Chains A and B, each alone.
Chain A
Amino acid sequence: MPLALEVKNVVKTFQSDSGEIRAVDDVSFAVEAGEFVALVGPSGSGKTTMLSILAALLTPTDGQVLIDGTDLARMSETERVVLRRQKIGFTFQSNNLIPYLTARENVELMIRLNNKFDRAAKVRSAELLSRLGLGERLNNLPAQMSGGQQQRVAIARALIHAPTVVLADEPTASLDTERAFQVVQTFAALIHENNRAGIMVTHDLRMCQYVDRVLQMRDGKLVKVYDTREEILALAKGE
């Protein structure tokens, strides 16, 4: 499998009143196309900062982040904006969708941003939403949908433009348990089917049962990698 994402010795420091904070401290890992990875850890472990770096929203203080072989750290702001719309798909904890666009329009927005909107793209969006069980909700505004449905629209939006990397920041944070499992399961299935590299930040270890690998962070460092099915399931069950 080709490497979609490579993180090499990434460091991110912030200045605070009490001195320098190393939010990410010499982290390295790689994700292949078609692999779904969870980034877990307690609050303040640096996982959200890591995700922001992967999303090209934050530049690392040191190290390299390669998406399809291109180093994000060397890119200008304009290049990073283009990279975000072409090669990255993103779902957030909440406030995910544009409230005045329907489910279908929210998904199509990604294609419009890439200037590739046409009839075929319109059909593709509808099909993807139907696949996610939202066939009846295509023309609903976010306010007319439940939290789970909104998250599924966000997943469709993150995948519709065939990005290299799909990032999810706590996608289940605002969902009840049943819906949370449904959402992550669907997300994982689509990552595998579409051969994308998926990275999900979560504090809910139960969600890890659907991923291929778990990266555990603490105090900015990558402290453990769970890469066997047994280890992952044990972690998900809290053993």
Chain B
Amino acid sequence: MTDLPKIRIRGLCKAFGANQVLRGLDLDIAAGESVVVIGGSGTGKSVLIKCLIGLMEPDAGTIELDGKLITGLPPRQREAVMGRFGLLFQNGALFDSVPVLDNVAFGLVSAKGRPMAEAKRTAMEKLAQVGLGADVAAMYPAELSGGMRKRVALARTIATEPDILLFDEPTTGLDPIMGDVIDQLILKCVRELGGTALTITHDMTSAKRIGDRIAMLYDGRIIWVGPAGTVDASGDEYVDQFVHGRVEGPIAFATRRH
């Protein structure tokens, strides 16, 4: 690891009308590191990822990638930067109208300009990498179970071999066994790609499995960061309440989704 973080976020602010979601969020992620951001529902975890990848423009603050500012870039430059990210959406966000194989090959054709035949060959390899066979390739997303959809979405995310992998609630809605399978696949994919990973979740088991470090998001800011192994004994009352799932404590959960 070098001193220069792969991703440096400073003073990130984002509001939706009168609802101030991010209030000056700071976070550094080193190259090759896997950071997990935990926090309750409605605390702005997804907003953080969307600002990072460029789906939302922050109201204030800066995001640097390899020391270069990526906020406020003109659309073309922003598109080029976006190509370095891979995002696993919470519900997969697979394209309903095309089969699984075309879903996985999509980014290879559109972002990397590969010929369709070659892209489909690579897509088959990526499907195999997440434990799916040729029988699934011809199916449509609506025909798949939740776990299979997540695997396909993961295959699509890693297909373009991005520098930075973002995982939005990767185990939400899955049973514990499938959650473990997805976590192992994420670890394997991140390791094989040698990429930097940012995961947002409120699944503590998953967070401890995936993350090198865990950061707690509360009230629009990162209030605690530490190695994944220390999260159970952080000494922070907010983190303790969240990790142990206690109703009593300083955290007042927001109810609105962004």
User: Do the two chains bind?
Assistant: no
**Chain A interface (Cβ < 8 Å from any Cβ of B):** none
**Chain B interface (Cβ < 8 Å from any Cβ of A):** none
